[in-house]
């Protein structure tokens, strides 16, 4: 009989790979080197929050969870009903009696009640929000969360003025800092799950705007004097952008003042990740050797590349290439560089590692990568030429730092990203 494995997923918000977004994660990188593997070519299928999170949780491509018509709205064009009842959590709870918990940012339009998989009456916890506004308070500081325990609203107490609604404050738990709240409450929940196989998801807000560092990391760090990477495409010339799609080709140059804004954002983004690094390090120390830990991000970012000062939503590597590390038993160690992987592959891979060959996911579009990840697996099955589907539907005419970063005329696309 296969021993059921515990699953923990930690995913950041807007943490890139191509611009060094893994660099602040020194403690996590050390843990991965000792106990896991990191994927060298991991991509999101859609470079924006809600669709990417939908794909990660469900194993479905964006076009299979999209609203019927773009004018129907949805969560960045996602039909939440096609996601919330079709996740790896829903399968693990219903079929294998897992205790499941979610702490942090869910889909941007976060349901107030726990969706299937996080609503069980024994062991489940739903402590989630949509990420808050792009300013504070309410995002990194003094945020509010929907809070359900064992399928019921958390009762009124010091932090719950109404049933099922947690409200942080600066004089309360962990200085009201969201990242600290999420990881510490996750650790507390783990202490209650000893009798069941469990699944835990921690959805960090970092390093998304407003990129507010914890007070203890706001100043006096090794990051203070850094500037955003001046890559080849940073503030590229008009001639170099002439053959790109319209949104890129028409970009004005980045001014000195805008460059200062980019550098400040870059530093704060990395400082927020120091808290995520602390949280992962502590979390791993509380996990046993029957647990797999996945660490990734919902999308990458740009910081001056192609003259785009901030945001994502484009097809380039800094937007679609993200970290993916896996720690746990019986894994290949080091860097897995012989094939490309994508978020659509995570749900079937998680299910396979959790419950073995009995794992089934009728709706999953992605591939089970466990054979390429496990020491005893067949790495020849990884299919090193398998491309990644990348698709995006414009969210409108959006301006950041005086630059148009998305538009309805030219920035809807589908493409294939090959590992080579």
Active site residue ranges: 49
CB contact at 8 A, 294 and 314: no
99 phi and psi, to 5 degrees?
Answer: -90, 125
207: cis peptide before it, omega within 30°?
yes
Packing angle between helix 26-35 and helix 256-285, nearest 10 degrees? 50
Count of CA atoms in the C-beta half-sphere (13 A) of 306? 25
Instruction: Quote the CA–CA distance of 392 and 333 in Å, as a whole number.
Output: 33
Q: How far apart are CA 20 and CA 270, in angstroms?
A: 9
Query: Whose CA is closest to 76, among 87, 67, 86?
Result: 67
Read off φ and ψ for residue 85, nearest 5 degrees. -100, 5
Residue with tokens 């790109």: 244
Burial (CB count <10 Å: 0-12, 13-18, 19+), residue 232: exposed
Extract long-range pairs of 80-86: CB within 8 Å, 24+ residues apart: 80/54, 80/107, 80/109, 80/111, 82/54, 82/58, 83/54, 83/57, 83/58, 83/107, 84/111, 84/115, 84/116, 85/115, 85/116, 86/58, 86/60, 86/363
How many other CB atoms sit within 10 Å of the CB of residue 220? 8
Query: Is there a contact between 147 and 127 (Cβ–Cβ < 8 Å)?
Result: yes
Instruction: List Cα–Cα distances, 413 to 380, 408, 416, in angstroms.
Output: 32, 11, 10
- Contacts of residue 105, defined as CB under 8 A and 6 or more positions apart, other chains included, come to 13, 53, 128, 129, 130, 131, 203, 204, 205
Phi-psi region of 341 (alpha: psi -120 to 50; beta: other; left: phi over 0): beta
Residue 130 phi, psi dihedral angles, 5° rounding? -90, 5
Give burial (CB, 10 Å; 0-12/13-18/19+) of 304.
Answer: buried
């Amino acid at each position: 009989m296969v021993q059921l494995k515990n699953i923990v997923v930690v995913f950041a918000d807007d943490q890139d790979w191509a611009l060094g977004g893994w660099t602040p994660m020194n403690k996590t990188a050390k843990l991965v080197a000792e106990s896991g593997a990191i994927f060298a070519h991991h991509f999101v299928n859609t470079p924006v929050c809600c669709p990417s999170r939908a794909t990660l949780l469900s194993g479905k491509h964006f076009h299979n969870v999209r609203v019927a018509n773009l004018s129907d709205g949805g969560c960045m064009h996602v039909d939440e009903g096609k996601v919330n009842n079709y996740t790896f959590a829903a399968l693990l709870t219903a079929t294998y009696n897992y205790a499941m918990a979610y702490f942090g940012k869910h889909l941007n339009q976060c349901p107030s009640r726990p969706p299937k998989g996080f609503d069980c009456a024994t062991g489940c916890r739903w402590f989630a929000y949509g990420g808050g506004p792009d300013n504070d308070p309410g995002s990194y500081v003094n945020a509010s969360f929907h809070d359900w325990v064992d399928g019921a609203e958390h009762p009124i107490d010091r932090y719950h003025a109404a049933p099922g609604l947690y409200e942080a404050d600066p004089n309360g738990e962990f200085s009201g800092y969201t990242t600290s709240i999420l990881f510490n409450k996750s650790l507390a929940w783990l202490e209650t799950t000893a009798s069941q196989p469990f699944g835990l998801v921690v959805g960090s807000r970092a390093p998304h705007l407003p990129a507010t560092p914890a007070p203890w990391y706001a100043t006096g760090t090794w990051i203070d004097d850094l500037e955003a990477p001046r890559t080849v495409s940073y503030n590229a010339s008009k001639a170099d952008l002439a053959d790109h799609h319209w949104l890129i080709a028409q970009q004005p140059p980045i001014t000195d003042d805008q460059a200062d804004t980019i550098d400040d954002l870059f530093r704060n983004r990395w400082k927020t990740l120091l808290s995520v690094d602390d949280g992962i390090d502590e979390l791993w120390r509380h996990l046993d050797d029957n647990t797999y830990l996945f660490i990734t991000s919902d999308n990458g970012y740009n910081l001056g590349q192609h003259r785009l000062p901030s945001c994502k939503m484009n097809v380039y590597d800094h937007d679609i290439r993200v970290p993916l590390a896996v720690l746990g038993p019986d894994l290949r160690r080091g860097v897995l560089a012989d094939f490309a992987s994508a978020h659509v592959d995570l749900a079937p891979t998680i299910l396979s590692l959790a419950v073995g060959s009995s794992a089934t996911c009728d709706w999953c579009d992605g591939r089970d990568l466990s054979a390429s990840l496990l020491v005893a697996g067949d790495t020849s099955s990884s299919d090193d030429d398998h491309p990644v589907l990348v698709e995006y539907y414009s969210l409108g005419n959006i301006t950041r730092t005086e630059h148009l970063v998305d538009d309805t005329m030219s920035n809807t696309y589908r493409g294939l990203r090959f590992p080579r």
